Amino acid sequence: MPLTEFNLIERYFAHKDPRRDDVVMGVGDDCALLKVPAGFELAVSIDTLVEGVHFPEGTSPEAIGHKSLAVGLSDLAAMGATPAWATLSLSIPEIDEPWLQGFSSGLFALAKKYQVQLVGGDTVRGPLVISMQVHGFVPEDRALCRSGAKPGDGIYVIGTLGDAGLGLRVVQGKSSANKNDADYLRKRLDYPSPRIETGLSLRNTASACIDISDGLAADLGHILKASGVGATLQVDQFPVSDSLRNTVSLDESIRLALTAGDDYELCFTVPMEREAALEELPVSCTRIGSIEAQSDLRLLDANNLPYPMERNGFDHFRK
């Protein structure tokens, strides 16, 4: 590796706050050396962002830095894990110092918020591709998995759905929104907020949990498959933002809520006897349906009539 890479890691990525006591050796040797506390399992997730695929060209380097870490933290949130460390693999076409400065500041602002230490990395010359692995702790046998949903459980989501997907369409010029709404939607696309505190709160409450990176239908589908169950959703209950409602039709808002990715909210299931505990969550959640023994996903409208998925052209997700 060229000397430039070494300097670059030193300048933008090594020796940043926070410094954690459980890091024996961070950036600067062949490996990082880390201590997992006794009685905890290590939760890890690796995610990759590619320009033009996971963020539109022209996205600010601060947003890319933020998002690179946020998507992993969202996975930790979905497991009910406490964040601890991250590693970064950065492939960049050229050494662009303002870009690196922006990327680094977006990344470390979020890292500081959740006390995540960057403990290792690799920087190479190549097309812009960013891989980040996050590491967190969860008490033994207490992780929130996808496989625990049971018939009768309520299905909940945090926050609002479809904002990031609509934000992307606005950026691409495929939808138009007023300036305030466009700004809000763009912020939801560029700066997703990992639901760490909510994930921790749900450890005692939820029977299954996932983060919504690929759209509600796809991600809830992973819970249904892993749990061997089905579900009915009430489309009129989908939580959508004012900005989304201002910008698209009702049918389109339902389609976005069901199929648009990148919101990084949590979708989780809760047994009826534990639903009261949801009042103590740090953010409000919305009940959007219930788990059933019958497989597959069904949609009902406000009149409890089947909602015709074909109308929005997304029948193909049901397979």
Whether the Cβ atoms of residue 131 and residue 188 lie closer than 8 Å to each other: no
Place of tokens 């983060």: 211
Query: Whose Cβ is closer to a second copy: residue 64's or residue 81's?
Result: 81
Give me the 73-102 binding string for a second copy, x by CB under 8 A, dash otherwise. --xx-xx-x-----xxxxx-----------
Residue 36 lies near a second copy (rule: CB under 8 A): yes
Candidate segments 151-159, 160-168, 209-217, 242-250, binder of a second copy by CB under 8 A = 209-217
Residue 303 burial (10 A CB sphere; 0-12, 13-18, 19+): exposed
- Please, which of residues 273-312 interact with a second copy by CB under 8 A? none
> Which residue among 127, 228, 306, 308 contacts a second copy (CB under 8 A)?
127
Shortest Cβ distance from residue 53 to a second copy (Å)?
A: 6
Mind spelling out the 3-state secondary structure of 52-98?
CCCECCCCCHHHHHHHHHHHHHHHHHHHCCEEEEEEEEEEECCCCHH
C-alpha angle 7-12-14 in degrees, rounded to nearest 5: 80
N-terminal to C-terminal alpha carbon distance within the chain: 47
Contacts of 11 (CB under 8 A, 6+ apart): 100
Whether the Cβ atoms of residue 206 and residue 268 lie closer than 8 Å to each other: yes
> Which residue among 61, 65, 106, 121 contacts a second copy (CB under 8 A)?
121
Residue 69 lies near a second copy (rule: CB under 8 A): no
- Please, which of residues 143-182 interact with a second copy by CB under 8 A? 143, 145-147
What are the residues binding a second copy (CB under 8 A)?
A: 1, 3, 24-25, 28-36, 38, 41-50, 53-54, 75-76, 78-79, 81, 87-91, 119-122, 124-127, 129, 131, 133, 135-136, 138, 143, 145-147, 209-211, 213-214, 218, 226, 261, 319
